[in-house]
Amino acid sequence: MDLQNSSFFHPKMVKPMIRIPESIYRRMVEHAQKEKPLECCGLLGGKDQTAQEIFETQNVARSPILFSMDPKEELMVLEEMENQFMEIIAIYHSHPHTIPFPSEADVKKAFSFDVPLIIISLKERDDSIVKAFRIRKEAIYLEDVEVI
């Protein structure tokens, strides 16, 4: 039985997934490692939940526990995405010294409930851990990341 096409299927039952090409995934992790001990930040642009381009931005907070994108730089990135007919797939940032779970500051800062937040943890010395979340008013939801 094909549940996706049956009357039993409900879109909310499907767990969302972000697909990231390996080259973009590596660049995201390298960006985090390069900025350590400070948090890095950026955006992933693409279509259909699949990243096509990474946009590294400057963390104007220059902090090991917070990130803040320069509003002018963010606007330029969003305009470039629009010119390339892309949408925001995710916002990413790093946690140089903590686990990959949204901090209280991350939750307060979530500007869109429809854009996943990717966190790159560098807490483990030999291995980075990358997780994605959707932050909603009622809860924080883990979202799958597939490296393609």
For position 40, which CATH number holds?
3.40.140.10
Q: Compute the C-alpha angle 55/39/49, nearest 5°.
A: 40
In a domain, 81, yes or no: yes
In a domain, 86, yes or no: yes
Contacts of 73 (CB under 8 A, 6+ apart): 57, 58
pTM assigned to the model: 0.85
Domain count, the chain: 1
Cβ atoms of residues 68 and 58 within 8 Å: no
| pLDDT beyond 60 at 8 | no
Q: What is the pLDDT of residue 111?
A: 57
In a domain, 15, yes or no: no
Instruction: Convert the pLDDT of each residue in 80-115 to its tens digit.
Output: 999 999 999 999 999 999 999 999 888 887 755 578
Which structural domain, as residue segments, surrounds residue 114? 34-147
Contacts of 77 (CB under 8 A, 6+ apart): 43, 45, 55, 57
In a domain, 84, yes or no: yes
